[in-house]
Amino acid sequence: MGNRRGALAEWVRQSGVMLPPVETWTSDTAEKLVGFDELLTGKDTVFLGEMDHFIHEKTDFRLLLIRYLAARGWTRIAEEMSWSDGVRVNRYLSQGEDIQLDRLVGLGYEQDLRTDRNDRPTGTLKASFDAYPVALFRAEQLRFYRGLRQVGADLDFYGFDVDALPGGAYADIATALEADSANPDIKHWLADLAQIGSESVTEEASRLRNALQIWEDLRPDLDPARKRRVSLSLRALIDTLDYIELTYAAADYAALSPGLAYREDILKRQALAVLGDQDNPRTVFMAHALHLLKDDRLGGAAGPAGPGGGTTKSLGHFLSVEQERRVFSVWLIWSTGEDSQPFPDLPRHFSYGEDTLNAALGVFNQPVIFPVQGAPDGLFDHPWKVGHMYNATVDVQLQGQVDAILFLPNVSPMQATDAQR
């Protein structure tokens, strides 16, 4: 291990780009990554994978890489968030509608939610759901979206996940069809789409499946892209309701596995919808790094409670191996610090073992991004333990799994500085 740690430090010093403190990163900082252009050449997909959603520096990592990528023509961005919220963020970015940032269900907006039914977890997910740091998460996400507005490129934005709290799709569909609401066929269909009081999750999903079939059989004089957007919003809501049925009453982590596997398959369907929306194939996906493994066979799977529930391949494997996307992948990792994760019985302070990649990189006291490709034999072609949330580790062969790593010596909990802006 000692020799390998020394070889790692030497490789990072030789090949890496030392960066200034995170809080000073700008567009000029992004241009320091020009040396990665060769690794990006010929790729049609980028994975930006963080090991923890609940750290302040996640936003800075994403903005740094998106500034770099957007300057090279990568303008389609997809985030691990609900399809409905993605629609609203895109309206903010593309049309300047600031009010859309106040209507993100994942950030606490509740006016689109049902009041006649409890759509919140009642099982093992309840504790984390109840303790979810919504205000902190909202502040960080708003900082991110406002940062995207400053990138200086016309970005197309998408979400590709279930709605933790369902219902936004109804308003999204009404907005999409507002100009056509006088059309008799559409008016009749919208009336039939309306929620029915006290219907169960199962009944609502069944009703929406029928509505989707009717919608796709309709032949209104609509722009095909708009008609497709309505179909995608409806399908996303149906998938969410199915996911809720599978997971929200699960009594333990083992019982969550089928629902987590189903969720991973939802991510795949929605990712394909993102890729199929435009002719330009180049797309940036942002998610937890374990959703974005390039090859599950190289390690990183997190078992029954992780992405895929231990029974289905990760989204990243699906895109890279099964869909044969040409992927450039960057991971964010760190050695010390704290997060704001919501599980009350799991740690928030990071303490990684000496046998981890995180600890081995701890010799560096400033941010650094370095390539994995081109490293000496024996450095990345055998597994490293990589630490992530809750001090958990995964064994990963980094060669073939990730192309570059951005390392931070320390990370901090999410901050509420943007909550009231």
Q: Are 416 and 321 in contact (CB under 8 A)?
A: no
Whether residue 183 lies inside any domain: the answer is no
CATH code at position 60? 3.40.50
Closest alpha carbon to 66 in 75, 79, 56, 58: 75
Coil, strand, or helix at residue 348?
A: coil
Whether residue 26 lies inside any domain: the answer is yes
pLDDT of residue 421: 34
pLDDT digits (tens, 9 = 90+) for 327-384: 999 999 999 999 999 988 899 999 999 999 999 999 999 999 999 999 999 999 999 9
Stretch (H or E) spanning 241: helix 224-247
pLDDT of residue 218: 87
pLDDT of residue 140: 97
Q: Which residues of the chain have pLDDT under 70?
A: 1-2, 277-280, 302-306, 309, 418-421
Q: Are 113 and 167 in contact (CB under 8 A)?
A: yes
Whether residue 319 lies inside any domain: the answer is yes
pLDDT of residue 84: 97
Domain housing 364? 2-162+253-411
Closest alpha carbon to 414 in 53, 123, 164: 53
Whether residue 172 lies inside any domain: the answer is no
Coil, strand, or helix at residue 92?
A: helix
Cα–Cα distance, 376 to 157 (Å, whole number): 38
| Strand pairing category for 45-50 and 327-337 | parallel
Whether residue 243 lies inside any domain: the answer is no
Q: Provide the 10 A C-beta neighbour count for residue 374.
A: 12
Cα–Cα distance, 270 to 173 (Å, whole number): 17
Total domains in the fold of the chain? 1
CA distances from 245 to 21, 232, 256, 371 (A): 45, 20, 11, 42
Q: Are 47 and 294 in contact (CB under 8 A)?
A: yes
Q: Are 264 and 291 in contact (CB under 8 A)?
A: yes
- Residue 11, amino acid: W
pLDDT of residue 419: 40
Whether residue 231 lies inside any domain: the answer is no
pLDDT digits (tens, 9 = 90+) for 291-307: 999 999 999 876 655 67
pLDDT of residue 76: 96
Whether residue 190 lies inside any domain: the answer is no
pLDDT of residue 128: 87
| Strand pairing category for 404-411 and 327-337 | parallel
Whether residue 307 lies inside any domain: the answer is yes
pLDDT of residue 203: 97
pLDDT of residue 420: 37
